[in-house]
Amino acid sequence: MATVVAQSHYIFGLRTGVRNNLLYFDEQTVIFPCGNNCVRYNISQKCQKFIPGTERSQDMQALAISTNRRYLAVSECVEKATITVFDLQHEQSRKRKVLTGGEIAVDKFVCMAFSPDSKYLIGQAGGPDWTLFLWMWEKKKVMATVKTSTDGPINQISFNPEDNTQICVSGNGVFKIFRYAGEILKQSSTFKTDTHHFLCHTWMSTEQVIAGTDAGQLMMFESGRLRWEMNVTPAQKVYSQSEKQDSNGTFSTLPRVTDIVAYSNGFACSAGPGTVCLFEKREEEDQYKKTIQKLTLMTGYPDTATMSASSTMLPVLEMYKEFQEEAYSIALHPTGLYILVGFSDKLRLMTLLIDDIRTFKEFTVRSCRECAFSNGGHLFAAVNGNVINIYSTTTFEDVLNLKGHNEKVRAIAFSAEDSRLVSCGMDGAVYEWNTLTGARESESVLKTCSYTGVTISPDAKTFFAVGTDCSLKEIQDCQILKEVRTGDVVCTTVAMSRSGRALFIGTSTGTVRAIKYPLPLQNDWIEYQAHAGPVTKMVTTFDDQFLITVSEDSCLFIWKIIDKEGQGLKREKELIYAEEILITKSDLEEKNKIMLDLNARVTELQEENKYQLSLRDIEYKEKINELTEKCIQQINSLNAEKEVLKAEKKKKQAAHVKALSEVLEKHDKEQQDMESSNNQKLMLEYEKYQELQLKLHKVQQEYEQQLHSVEESKTRALEEMMQSYEAKLEEKMMLVTQYQDESQQKVREFDEYIKQEEEDADMEIHEIRIKYEQNLKEEKKANTRLKVELDTTTKQFHVLQREIENRNLEIEKLKQEVQKLQSVIKALENDITGLKTAIQKRDGIIQDKEKSIYELKKKNDTLNKTIEVMEFRAEYMEEQIEPKENEIQELKEQMLEMEVELKEFHKTNTQLELKIAELTLKLKTKDKEMHKEMRKVQDIGVLVQRFKADLHTCVEFIQDPKRLKEHIRELYKCYVQPSDVVEKVAVDTDTQKENHRQREHYEMIITTLKNQLTRDTNVFQVNNTKLMKDNVILMKEINDLRQELRAVRMQLHNYDSQSSFNKNNKSSANTRGAASAGRNGLMTQQSLEEAEKIIQFQRLEIQRLKQETNGQMPSSRTKLPPLTN
């Protein structure tokens, strides 16, 4: 019999509590931990590959992926903490290296990170030591270690994305940046973070790091300094699942920033449950603006929600429903249309509809931990404490109550023909029940074992039970036939294949064991490391193709059951699966209505599309005809141009041929002339070359003769020098012997002199010693005084540095305000340019009016035409004058508002300039004072060092009192001078005078600038008043023109009435009509001439006003003084 093997097929779930438990391998593949494995899931193809964890792994702590997406690091706890590095480019993701803490004892590695070049790996060990390790992981070499914290947990570590030697560490009260140098990790920046609990951080650049806290704060650090901090969102009310189940209560908490991810234009961070905040970087400032995006949360399924399985196991989530309370047990009907769920208050039977799960029957069974349908589906069993209730699925009646267990029933199983039911409980009893009569047919009681799982063979003759005694028991006819020991591992559940060829056991360590049946004599099984917690339930599908396991780690594993040859288990009959599904009548009617409405809408849209297409076809045909006509015309014109160009081409070709022939003839003549001249030059050069060769030969001969004569003279001179030096040497040796004798005599005399001097010097030394000891005490006191002064000066220096930094920050803020004001001024300038363009447009309108008046003059030949044109023009003028008056009023109001704003801006600008000038003066004075103090400190340090060196030389002459005395006098002359005090006082007075002089100079500049400002504002106000007066005059003139227009209209109306009266009385008053017409014509001509004069006068006035505005309006650029840094 072939051995049965279980192969991992698909996994549902996610292992929580693992740091970085979701990683992107590429755009289509993600990596996440599930159970004791890591899963590579392809999103598009929906396929999975598995990276198995180490055997006997107790816990998985963290994941990390390299920047080149090739290596995956997994932190686990086996016997000791290990980090396993896998090669993801290998098909089976083979194991590359296993890293440990070496000689340092480590319980677990909390978090990890790869370097940017993927050569180094850092790992943070857990408490109580909290040691940070840096490995060159390919060589398993620990490069450096350092303790990062004393008590708080470390939540994240990371490399600088552009520097392998810089590492950031964040945690509870910890935010540190380390630098690797000289095989040591040194802390490069310090920041007091005792009150903050940092949960995450990310690098925005080589110097900027953003960190998030558990209080919902974001902090930006740059070069180890805090730049800014902000709250992500206000406090929210968060619901906990445990409180929902028990009391449905709420508690208020701040959103925790648990993760931050940087991207090209900013970063994204979590801000509590279901909220992600996106921050985009602003263009000008180093700030970020926030946009919040809500995300839907995935709710976790209970552990027992996958106890039963349908006949078709596809790795797709078909349907889900959320409940307010926890589901303790679940069972699926063999038809796949009903589901049985046990809750804390009741047992509910639900129907699986096309898009919903609905309850249609409830049973009074509280906290049902175990339920199961019969294989036929006509019955179902539910456990109520130590009683098993059997109900009918057709009548929903309580058919049987099976009582016999003393403690809780842990597992039940129906036989294949549904005539038997097997149960096991915590009382150590395994009972076989008759489902027709309710009688107990067999029993097996073992009080030393608490059973947790039971299954029945296909022939219903043998049972298999597992419990807390670490063994698998085969029970038949109330007796234990075989007992297979499982070592130190407790078995939690058991399942048998439908064919009866294999048994599957789940253990408390999360492993799954496959044992062939009949049971072997020796312990022979295949063990698979699957879950990270105890396996709670196991079940095989009806066709024996898949095994499904669930565990306390909230993960569901689907195993494919095959034999060792790689083929699936075959059944005698092939199964045919139904495709029907339940739906309610109301839902079906609603969907039919929706279908009808949609069909009607489709037909309407089709008709509309046809109509629009026909219209477009007509338009396109017209356009095509127009284009064809244009193309034909263009083709004809191009053909004509082509013929003209051909004629021109022929002419130019003939001209080019003639020019070429002339050029060739000239070239031949020039070539011949050049050849003759070059030949003559070559002959001359050849003759010169021969002459130069003869000269060179003569010069070489002369040079050789000179060399020979020089060598002979050198040898003679050397011989003469040797003879003279030997004679001098003999004379010197004689002198040396004489000097040696004289020196010996002088040494003897000197020894006697020294003895006499020593006796005299001993007395003097004793006196000098007493004096110098007193002097030394005084010098020591002076040194202590100087040290105290040095400390005070250093403290003052540090205080000045802090003040300078604060002033620099204030200056930056003022610069930002100035930039804002400049932007406002630019906007105002743009408004002024817009007004100027409006004035130009009005000039254009006036010119158009002038043209219309000129046309009226020409058309005044006949009275009828002039009357019609005048009426039309009069109406047109009225329509245009009213909106123009409204525009003039609006522009006046805008001008007044702009003037007020300009005055305010000028005031603020002057105030800011004065502040900046004062601050610059203060800065310069403080800089000078600081430089002076620095120089004083440096001079004092140099003096102290020199004094120390001179003292050291004096100490060497303690035994020689004379020299000691001389050196100390020299010291006094060098370092103690009466002029020092006077010079210091003089220097201080000079600096004060210079400071007063500079201050007076700057105050004079400020007063002159203020005077200029006042003058400019006065000039601007005068110009504004002039413009306002001119506007008033123009308004008066416009009103006068309106009155004149009304008078002209009245005259025209009178003329119309007279003309009609003349037409009625042609026979009687021809002469009178002609006279009246002549008079009216004269009147209209006079009124037109007056109107033209008025318009010309207005044009001149407008031009004068334009010139004044262009020449006298002060621009904002000339008005504002330049900024001083």
pLDDT, tens digit (0-9, with 9 covering 90-100), for 72-101: 999 998 888 899 999 988 877 788 888 988
At 573, the pLDDT band (50, 70, 90 cuts) reads low
- Pick from 1055, 1098, 1106: which is nearest to 1076 by CA? 1055
At 825, the pLDDT band (50, 70, 90 cuts) reads confident
Inform me whether the pLDDT recorded for 330 exceeds 50.
yes
Cβ–Cβ under 8 Å, residues 953 and 967: yes
Cβ–Cβ under 8 Å, residues 933 and 796: yes
Cβ–Cβ under 8 Å, residues 386 and 409: yes
Inform me whether the pLDDT recorded for 406 exceeds 80.
yes
CA 270 → CA 23, 256, 273, 584, 701, distances in Å? Answer: 16, 7, 8, 42, 98
Cβ–Cβ under 8 Å, residues 137 and 129: no
Q: At what angle do helices 863-956 and 585-858 cross, to 10 degrees?
A: 110
- At residue 1087, the pLDDT reads 57
- pTM of model > 0.85: no
At 566, the pLDDT band (50, 70, 90 cuts) reads low
Inform me whether the pLDDT recorded for 303 exceeds 50.
no
Greatest mean pLDDT range, 50-64, 615-629, 761-775, 847-861: 615-629
User: Whole-angstrom Cα distance, residue 501 to residue 515?
Assistant: 9
**Four-CA torsion 734, 739, 741, 745, nearest 10 degrees:** 170
Percent of the chain with pLDDT over 90: 18
- At residue 362, the pLDDT reads 92
Determine how many CB atoms are found less than 10 A away from the CB of residue 676: 8
Percent of the chain with pLDDT over 70: 86
Strand, helix or coil for residue 673: helix
Residue of 330 and 294 predicted with greater confidence: 330
Structure tokens at 946: 């020199």
Strand, helix or coil for residue 378: coil
Cβ–Cβ under 8 Å, residues 143 and 136: yes
Cβ–Cβ under 8 Å, residues 374 and 414: yes
At 568, the pLDDT band (50, 70, 90 cuts) reads low
- Which range among 216-230, 420-434, 1045-1059 shows the weakest confidence by mean pLDDT? 1045-1059
Greatest mean pLDDT range, 247-256, 300-309, 538-547, 949-958: 538-547
Average pLDDT, integer, range 323-337: 89
Inform me whether the pLDDT recorded for 977 exceeds 70.
no
Question: Using CB atoms within 10 A of its CB, is residue 374 exposed (0-12), middle (13-18) or buried (19+)?
Answer: buried
Question: Rg of the chain over CA atoms, in angstroms?
Answer: 54
Residue of 437 and 285 predicted with greater confidence: 437
- At residue 1113, the pLDDT reads 45
- Which range among 111-120, 127-136, 392-401, 1110-1119 shows the weakest confidence by mean pLDDT? 1110-1119
- At residue 906, the pLDDT reads 79
Cβ–Cβ under 8 Å, residues 50 and 63: no
User: Whole-angstrom Cα distance, residue 698 to residue 1053?
Assistant: 129
pLDDT, tens digit (0-9, with 9 covering 90-100), for 678-712: 888 788 888 888 888 888 888 878 878 888 888 78
Mean pLDDT over the full length of the chain: 80
User: Whole-angstrom Cα distance, residue 1125 to residue 913?
Assistant: 10
377: Cβ contacts below 8 Å, ≥ 6 apart: 333, 334, 335, 393
- Pick from 81, 190, 204, 69: which is nearest to 133 by CA? 81
At 1062, the pLDDT band (50, 70, 90 cuts) reads low
Inform me whether the pLDDT recorded for 1091 exceeds 70.
no
811: Cβ contacts below 8 Å, ≥ 6 apart: 916, 919, 923
Inform me whether the pLDDT recorded for 1067 exceeds 50.
no
Average pLDDT, integer, range 130-137: 91
Question: Using CB atoms within 10 A of its CB, is residue 222 exposed (0-12), middle (13-18) or buried (19+)?
Answer: middle
User: How many degrees, rounded to 5, is the angle at CA 244 between CA 238 and CA 249?
Assistant: 60
Inform me whether the pLDDT recorded for 987 exceeds 60.
no
pLDDT, tens digit (0-9, with 9 covering 90-100), for 26-53: 888 999 999 888 999 988 888 888 888 8
Average pLDDT, integer, range 501-518: 88
User: In terms of DSSP bridges, do strands 109-114 and 120-125 run parallel, antiparallel, or are they unpaired?
Assistant: antiparallel
DSSP designation for 303: G
Sheet strands side by side (includes 37-42):
23-24, 29-34, 37-42, 47-52
User: Whole-angstrom Cα distance, residue 911 to residue 1006?
Assistant: 11
At 381, the pLDDT band (50, 70, 90 cuts) reads very high
Cβ–Cβ under 8 Å, residues 404 and 441: no
Inform me whether the pLDDT recorded for 979 exceeds 90.
no
Tokens 């445990």 — which residue? 242
- Pick from 442, 458, 539, 523: which is nearest to 489 by CA? 523
Inform me whether the pLDDT recorded for 65 exceeds 90.
yes
Inform me whether the pLDDT recorded for 495 exceeds 60.
yes
Determine how many CB atoms are found less than 10 A away from the CB of residue 31: 24
At 9, the pLDDT band (50, 70, 90 cuts) reads confident
- At residue 168, the pLDDT reads 92
